[in-house]
Structures are given as C-alpha cells and as structure tokens.
Chains A and B, each alone.
Chain A
Amino acid sequence: MSEMFSNRYRVAIDVGGTFVDFVLLDEETGAITLEKQPSTPERIVDEVGAGLGRLPVRLSEVGRIFHGTTVALNTIVQEKGVKVGLLTTKGFRDVLEIGRGSRPEIYNPRYQAPHCLVPRHLRREIPGRLSASGEEVRPLELAGIDKEVEYLLEQHCEAVAICFLNSYANNQHEALAAERIRSRYPDLALAVSSELANEWREFERISTTVLNAYVQPPFKGYIESLTERLREDGYASPLALMQSNGGASEASAAASTPIKTLESGPAGGVIGACVIANAIDKKNLICFDVGGTTVDVALIERGEVVERSQTTISGRPVMGPTIDISSVGAGGGSIAWINELGVLQVGPHSAGAFPGPACFGKGGTQPTVTDCHLLLGRLDADKFLGSRMKLDVDAATAALNKVAESLGLSLQQAAHGALKIAETNMANAVRAITIERGLDPRDYALFSYGGGGGLFAAAVSEELGVNTVVVPRAPANFSAWGIVVSDYREDNSHTMVRPFVAGAFDEIVKTIKQLEQTNTDRLKQHGFTDDRIQPHIRAEIRFAGQEYTVAVPVEEQWLGNTGIFLNQVRRRFVDLHCRMYGHGDINAPLELVTLRLRSIGKVQRPALSLWPEGESSRPDSIRNTYFAASGEFTEIPVFDRDDMARNQSVDGPAIVEEWTTTTVIPPGWRCVVDPMGNLILTKHS
C-alpha cells in the first residue's frame, strides 16, 4: 500500500444545501469528530477551508480527504453550465432535440420536455459512419472535424461534446476525432461519449456526453481551486471524490467526468448504511434519508447497494451506474395544502431554509411537516437543535388552523392527517424502488438518518409492513460518515449483443479481461496493489427477443470453462427473472447485451467503536404527545440518547432526543441500544 493511506486520520467533506458537514475519523479507534460550517455557494472553497481549520488535527496529519460535492448537480439543475458545441454523425444532429419524443403526462397536450441544451447551429455533423456491429461503412472525415471545431470556437463554445452513432460498438471514430482535437486544442474541455458510456441508445448517450461537457469547465475550476487551497493548508495527499456509484475516485482524474458525481452527496449515506448493514448483520436495508425538502430512499439488498444503469436529471437522461436513489418532495419543510379537488396534500413544495416552517418564526405562514410534529408534541419547542432555536407554537397553530378549518377537522386531526399523507408519500417512494424489482419491503429493515428520519421512521415502517428500524449514531451527519468509510470504485462496461451460446464464450472472456485490465490500471495509479483490488463481473442477459435485461452476477471461477459458465449464468438468470416477474423458461434461448466490470480498491475499514455500558438511564422529561391509536394526547417519557446505556431498552410510546434528531417510538414498538450504539426499533404487537 502506498504511503498515502498510512496516516491514521481520514476526513470527509460533505457539501449540502444548508451546511457543509465534516467528519474526522481516527482509523485506529473508530472515533469520530463532527464539525459543521454554513454552506454559501459562492465561497464554498473558503467555507471548506474554515471548517477544516477547526478540526483538532492538522491537515498534514490527514492521510486522505474524501469529498462529496453537489457542484455538478447544482450546475445542471440551475442551468449554469457553459456553451457547448456538439459533433455528431451526419444526419443525426437533431437527435438531442427530438429526444425520445414521449409525453410522460399522457393526457397533457401542453407537455413540455426540457429544452435542448445545445442550439441547432452548434450541433455540427461530421461525415463518417459505423454499422451496428462496429464496422466502418464510411470513413470519418477529419477535415470536417477541423472545420467544425473552428466554427464552434468562433461561436464562443467553451466545451465540445463528441457522440457518433454506434460508437458503443466501436470507439474508433470518436477516438480519432478526440485525438485530433486534443492535439490542436489541448486546453479545450472535451467530452467523448465512448469515454463516458459504452452503451447503446444514441439520445441517452448524447445527452450524457453533452451534460458532461456542460459542467466540465466549472467543475474542473472548482476542483482545482479546492485542491490548491488544501495544498496551501498543508494537505499532501490527493483528494478523493465521491461518485454516484458509491465509490471514490482520484479528483485529478474525476475532474473531467463530472457527470459521474451527480449523486456524490447522498451516495455517502447509502455506502455508510451498507457498512452498518454488514456490521450488524441486517443485510436488507431500506435507506431512508429525510432532509428539509426531500426524502431520499435507496436499498441495500443482501449486503450490497442496489444500483441502476441510467438516471435522469431535470428530465435529461444520464447513462452510467449510479446508486438507485429516488427522491420525493416530502421532508421537514414540505407544505401541507388543499388542492383543487379539495383534498389535503403535502409537498412537493417546501418552505425551504427561508422562510422555513411557520414555527421557525422567520415569517413562514404555510403549515409544514415540522409544524405538524410540533403541534402533536413530537418536538419540544424549547429544545430544538439542542435549544439553539425556540419554536413558535402559536405561529404553527395559526398556519395549520386555516387548513384544518376548510377541511372541517380539529387541529390535531389536520396535523395527524398531513403527517399521514407525508408518510404515505414516503412509503410509496419505498414501494417504487422495491416492488419495481419484485422485492417485498417487508423483508427489509428501515435504516433512518438525516435530520428528520427519526420522526417518521416507525410510522412509515408500519405503513410498509416493515417491523424493524435502525437509527445510527449522529444520524444528521451520517452521509459524511458514509463518505469517510467508502472504498475506491472503477466501473467499465461494454454493450455487445450476442446470442448467449458457446460460440460467444471466448469473446466474452476476452472482453471481461480487457474491462478488468482498464479498471486495474486506473486503481494502480491511485496506489492500490493487486491484492487490494476486487473485481465484480455482471452480465446483462435477456431472453432472446426481449429488450430489458436482468443483471446476473458472474463468478470469476466460471470463466475457466465454457459449459460451467453458460449453465451457471443461465440458471442464475432464469432464477432472477422468475423472482422479479413471475415467469421464465429454463430452456429458452438467451442473449447477452452488456458486460459490466466493477473493480473495488479496498481501503482499510475503520474499527467501529462500542457504545458505553452502564445503568439504564431515566427519562429526561415527560411530554404530552398525540398518537392516532389513542386519538388523544398522553404523557410519554423523553430520553436523552447520549445518556442511554448499551443494551438499554425502552418501550413505546416514548421519544429519544439527541442534538439534531428526534426519534419517535410509537405505541407497540420497543427501542434497544445495540452494542455499537445504533437504536434498533422493533414492532412487538
């Protein structure tokens, strides 16, 4: 192992919407130190520097800094990227504008797809053509490239995207074009489709490439100034960036592929959940991250993070493996309102950080989820954020009264109803990611984090039929903790549509080896040795004639024998297909579509520290709280989490409070502090 992993301290920087979270980890003891700094978009680098400066160690003692960033995501969402020019195959410059031509709101004749990021005159066509099998039909005209790039530069394009038809089958034309442009304009930001996504479907691949080009210059600028600031402050090792696939990558290499960092922030929490899942042997988890405006849900299945191979951002498709995180507009700031049908709704609009919930007393007049929790006694008006903020019960009452009156409900009924709807929306988000795959949410435990997770976790679990909830330590900073314990990951894939028969075996094995070599080379540049690199192979297979595939994990030892390989993959595929969709013929012909290779560079896992033993603590206070089961307010005990002892058990109804989170234990639930300090809530009736 190279020396950069030798220092015992590791730091994560997680930039969020309101705060930058810092976690300092001591690898030997597993002890963590938390820090927070306001998140001001224009001066993030300074905020990061300031927060790091308050950590109890010098940056020169830190072996590795991991960074979760939202720069790429925000640049796209706010449409603040640069002017991009596109070079594409002759006859196809309008593909980006036409897209898939669909109307997701099926009745809406006024449906509007997101506008095209590259105007028509900046989409330039280059003669040259490959067939679907990758053979050259017409050679690429390099002179055309020179002419068109010159035009794009005259038009003040700051980045160029290249995507040719069928380049997933053969990257030769794109490579020629890229080499030509790089040799002439070494400083021009260039995004090449075959370097980003070797998969078919031209619109999605062009979209991915253009989006990458669109954010490349600002992203690179940000990474460079952050790296420089860290160096000035004494940090000597490379910076590691969190990617959407849940692994880290070297910042210098990742700077040109910002599109791979879209889920960089929320990915940390999911990776952290995966570590805990394996540590406490609950290998099926629903990650449930409740923030101010959204709830982000993801899955850990059999100890592994569930991913998808494509996602959309602001309605624009992005190819590439990413943790399957789905966000629903239901968080602490989500507004309760009455729609045109006279029905109570919650979200997706949020009161945000300003004016915030009515009870924050910053001028908010619309009732939010947080106001409802306050009115039902689940939050203490005097103890919010460790008593840093006093909540205004009157303002919350006034805001919710308007809604309650027009529905003819009491204040409590309205508050309870709004929360019930928020819980349903959250539960439906979980259903969408589980049932869509044929998975039953009842086979999972709910892993709750983010500032608002504990208020909802048990109720949403009841809605789903889930009977275990896990609340980790410091749940509000959990994403940053996840970043600091992540490994390095390199992904590579190749679409090769072939009948899945013995004749294709040699080519499949050869391709897998090539993909693996590319990944290994990259990881070795980051200082990993062979013994620390683990390959994971997946083959995306379908019944011949079908379109959609099922990703089948392939064991490396199968690659030695044609018969074993074909039989094992077939058996596993049919098994998965039956489980997901209820049918599958073991003898039907199969087709291979895509090979995926992930290589993981293992970083030393930190020790997980144990929670202190001791006497069970007494309730800190008693609070009047409303639960639907009884339909009235009852006095329930409130425990301070920091005072609780290892293995302490508390029966609901009760509340457990800590600095930034409140966990509700409803009637019929029991909460136990496990040896590592996680709260384990189980339903016993």
Chain B
Amino acid sequence: MKKLDVITVEVIKNGVNAAAREMATTLVRTAYNPLLYEVQDFGLAILSPQAKTWAEAPGMTVFVGALPQTVETGIGIYGLDGFEEGDVLIANDPYTTGNHISDVSIYMPIFFEGQLLAFAASTAHWADIAGKTPGGWCSDSVDVYQEGICYTHEKLVSAGKKNDALWSIIRNNTRYPAVVLGDMQAQIAACRQGAGRIQTYCRKYGVEAVTAAMNMAIDNADRYMRQQIAAIPDGTYGAELTMDHDGVAVNERFTVALQLTVAGDTIKVSFDGASPVRSGPVNCPEYAVRSVVRAAIKGALCPQSASNEGDFIAIEFDLPKGLVVSPERPAPVDSYGYVANAAYELTMKSLAQAIPDKCVAGCATLTMPTIARVNPRDGTPFILADPIDVGNGARPYCDGPTMAINVMGDVPNSPVEVVEMRYPLRVEQFALKTDSSGHGRYRGGAGVYRDYRILEEGISLHTAFENTFDSIAKGTDGGYEGMPAQVVANPDTLDEYVIKDRGNLPFRLKAGDVISMRSGGGGGWGVPATRDPNQVVADVRDDRVSVDLARDIYRVAIDVSAGEPVLMVEETGKLRA
C-alpha cells in the first residue's frame, strides 16, 4: 500500500465520524423509549478489531467511554475468529460493560470481503430489565442478581439468523416488552447503518487505508492530549467527597476520593481514601469510573472535538479491586451514577487546583423521578424516567447554566407537552429554583422545580438524587456551594412529605397527589462581594436574588421603594469597603 497522505487521513476520519453520527440519527428516529429519542440516553461508537474507539456519536460520555471494554470482552469470549458477518451481540453485565444493568449494549462485527474490519457498538438505556424495581435504578439491592436479567455477550443474531430463543427470553423478561423490543431493533438498525458506511469507505479506499488512517487519527489525538497535559504544572492534585449512604446501610456515610498525578505528558489517576465496596447498589463498576474520569479530563483539556482512543492513552489508572469504585461480582451496582458523578466532579475539582481557567465549579447531582405503572389492572402500564436539569457550576468568566449534569453529555429534557400527552400526569410547574444557586462573582446555575400531578391510580414513584449531606456542587475560588436536591410530596398541603435524603415515599400515590422534584444548584465562582453591582441589580429585578441577599452576601445596596430596583452607589461602596 502506498503511504497515506494527510489529506486522505482527514477524509477517512471525517467519514468514520459521520458514520457514527448517522448511527445516532437512526437510533433516535426509530426508538420507542423517550429516554432514547428525547433524552438521548445512549452512546454509539465505531471501534477497531482491537476494541479501540475510532469514532463516536453524541450521547452519554460514560457509555461511549465504556464501549471499548464491552467489545474487548466479546473478543475475549469468541476470539477474533469467532465472529461471522451478520452477528449481533447483546451485553448488559455491569462487570463487563461498566454500566448498570439497564444500559444494554448491542454491537456487531463489521466485515469487508470476509475480513473483520471493525465493530459498530451501541449502549442504550432500556425501559426495563426485570429487576426488583420497575425501570431499574434499584435503591436498595444487595447483589447484582436482584437488579435484573443479565446478558453476557450472547449472539442475538448469528450469521444473519435470529436466535429466536434469546429474543423470546428478552420479550418475557421485561415489564414493557413492546418498548424494549422496539428499542432493541433501533439499536440493531443503528449498528447496521454504521457498518454499511464503513464498508463503503473500505470499498473506496481499501481496508488497509481505512485502518491506517484511523490509527493516524488516534496518534494525532494522543499527541495533542499529551501537549495539553505537559502544559499542566507537575504535581498531585486531589479531592474527596462524603456520600449520603449506600441505600442499604442507611446510617453509614462513605467516601469517594481520587488524586491526579501529573508528570510530564501523562496523568496517573489513583483513588487513595475511597471507601471499600458497599453493601448497597451505589458501587460503580471500574470501567464506568475510568470513563467519567477521562471525560472530565478531556472536558477540561480539549472539549470541542469528538473523541477517539487517542484522547485517553496518556491517562493511566491505579485502581485496586474491591473499592466502591472497583467492585467485583456480585456486588450491587444499580445506582452507580452517584459515584460516577462524584468521580467526574472530583476530577474537575482536582484539575481546578492546577488549571482553573479550563474548569468549572461543581455541578449538582443527578436528579430523576421514575414514575411507573406496572399492573394492567390499574390502567395501561407505562414508565417515565425523567432526568431533570440541574444547576451547573459557574464558569471562571460567567454564571453557570441550568442543564443536564456534566457526566451525561448531550441529554435534553422531555418537553412537558410530550410528557402530558403520553402519561397520566400533569406538570404543574417547570421553573428555575433560584435560591439553589451557589453564590459567587459568577453564580452557579439554578436547580429547577418540576412538579408532577398524578392523575390516575396504581402509579408508583422512585427517585434518584444524592449529596444532601456534603454538596457535590462545590464553589471555586471563594464561590459558595449549590443547594442540594429535594423531593417533596404534596407541597404546601397538610399531606406534605419531604424526602431530603434519598429514599422512597412512605405511602402509596393516589390520583391528585403532587410530586415536586427540586434539583440542586451549581457551585459559584469567586467571592460574591466582587460581583458587578449592576448585575446584582438585574438579579433582583429578575427575582433571582432578594434585596436582603444582595446586601448580606453580595454587599450591594438596592432601593426598591419605587418598584424598580435602583443601585445605591454610595451605600454599596460602604458595604464593600
């Protein structure tokens, strides 16, 4: 083969990236579960036969980052010779995919002229996987077997022939078979779409050229990442966070801790001080931990580009077994997201010690209600898992926004009108919870109120949120921390019940009840008393800050006696003197 020129490399790389994006389009357009088509709770990638990521599509960074391990496991089981054209595999074993059991990977080998060339892989959150909690995210499982049915790289389709027995098992081991099978078909269609595009490129440029081009793209990304790391002052940076509890031993706190040691052009990640594996489902499989730490480092150092294997070669892990960040089967892992989220934030916080300009203040934690009806006797079964926007950390140069948590990547919320049309719910408000923002020169993003009125009987709720004890949304450089999340049933009534700490409602929901989800606010950046006073006036006008808070925390005196807030210049000068 003649030597590849830089131009051809770029052409092929763009093409493979486009193929991954087309996979995402196909998945979104044909999926049945709003978590996929509205919320984009999925990850897609094209990988080499050595399970190195060539290209990926927007979606969840944690999924994309764990796909190499998923495919590597499959290769370990079958051997590179054990795949045939037309195979489709399924895996959701948390210990070989890195995610919790609801996140199901579907992947397939891509052949060209009989030769194994690459893999097209997808991970998507399934509506239900027949664990003890409808929709997954068990809060109190004690082993992985309680969390759902586990697929371990079986062939759903073998050389183009459907494995009917396995499809039947899948259909009969979920509470929502139509949705789950529809989504599975969508994942298969997405992988086929990716495979077809890669084959087109091989036809045009040849297998060797495609492989060589992607290797060069990986080398380029590696070189760039190393340049960025080399610019960070050598040293060890670290942080830790005390977590609420593991869901089973509810009176015990535990700790997530990590350190980044920067030496030359590499970063070594260690976890000294992290708690041993927990009895409840908060353990986070190590593949997911690696994935989020890498995502945070990439987020600070080269956030704009799509990733490939090269982004992560310079990041090494020292991760001994048996910790809350490296559990072993059969430890429960269904609520792994809290620790994953913590690992992301701790990485960002550690980096902020060295390169603050490239970082953001702490982001509030995942907040999500799962509202479901299982028994057809009560009405049509449904499940709504509705991750809600949270306050993101302030940036070094402006206020933080209200959006999906960092670790989630591109995850839009569900429109209220779509929720109300599909489910027996009425959303009573979807509004900024302005008092939740961490104060600062730049304020953290606000959490939100999202209140659901339950309109029918037989509906259950369970919730995901964390960090009510030690806020994850830390401020930076003198900024305050954001307020934690909260769930309130029937607010401002005699039946009001506040869930501050993670847990479930002590009563059965009935028609007419209201569930108010209140996500946390983001951390602030910089000392509040240095915020631009005119901005504070605008904050008061916009109902984001009260006159008292403006005076006490921001040290800005504002006169509202005439209706419109007016800055009292002299008084403010005195307050800030």
Contacts and interface: CB of A to CB of B under 8 A. Distances in A.
A354 to B, nearest CB: 28
B378 to A, nearest CB: 19
A168 B417 contact: yes
Contact of B420 (A131, A343, A543): A131
Given A93-B431, A106-B409, A119-B538, A101 B402 contact: yes
Contact of B389 (A98, A107, A546): A98
Given A93-B431, A100-B412, A200-B417, A107 B303 contact: yes
A201 B415 contact: yes
Contacts of A565: none
A545 B404 contact: no
Contacts of A97: 402, 432
A581 B29 contact: yes
Interface stretch (B331-339, B369-377, B539-547): B539-547
A81 B359 CA distance: 34
Nearest to B298: A107
A552 to B, nearest CB: 15
A417 B401 CA distance: 41
Given A165-B416, A546-B32, A104 B11 contact: no
Interface string A642-660: 0000000000000000000
Chain B interface size range: 35 or more
A582 B189 contact: yes
B14 interface: yes
A104 B360 contact: no
A29 to B, nearest CB: 46
A344 interface: yes
Interface stretch (B2-10, B113-121, B151-159, B259-267): B2-10
Contact of A581 (B15, B26, B451): B26
B14 A424 contact: yes
Contacts of A424: 10-11, 14
A239 to B, nearest CB: 37
A502 interface: no
A110 B307 contact: no
Interface string B350-379: 000000000110010000000000000000
A120 B543 contact: yes
A110 B182 CA distance: 35
Nearest to B414: A100
Given A112-B401, A546-B32, A582 B543 contact: no
A119 B182 contact: no
Contact of A110 (B22, B185, B197, B360): B360
A343 B26 CA distance: 30
Nearest to B387: A101
A104 B54 CA distance: 19
A463 B12 CA distance: 11
Interface string B408-432: 1111110111101100001111111
Chain A interface size range: 35 or more
A107 B299 contact: yes
B295 interface: yes
Interface string B530-555: 00000000100111100000000000
Interface string A184-207: 000000000000000011111000
Given A93-B431, A121-B541, A428 B18 contact: yes
A168 B421 CA distance: 12
Interface stretch (A55-63, A250-258, A363-371, A429-437): A429-437
B303 A110 contact: yes
A560 interface: no
A119 B542 contact: yes
14 contacts: A91-B451, A92-B429, A94-B430, A100-B412, A101-B413, A106-B59, A106-B60, A120-B542, A166-B417, A201-B418, A435-B22, A546-B30, A547-B418, A581-B30
Instruction: Give me the 6 closest cross-chain CB pairs, A-B, nearest first.
Output: A91-B429, A106-B409, A108-B303, A100-B412, A120-B542, A101-B389
Given A107-B61, A424-B14, 11 more contacts: A98-B389, A98-B403, A101-B413, A121-B542, A202-B416, A420-B7, A545-B178, A546-B182, A547-B32, A547-B34, A581-B186
Interface of B: 5-7, 10-11, 14-15, 18, 21-22, 25-26, 28-32, 34, 37-38, 40, 58-61, 64, 178-179, 182, 185-186, 189, 192-193, 197, 220-221, 223-224, 227, 295-296, 298-300, 302-304, 307, 348, 359-360, 363, 389, 392-393, 395, 398, 401-404, 406, 408-413, 415-418, 420-421, 426-432, 448, 451, 538, 541-544
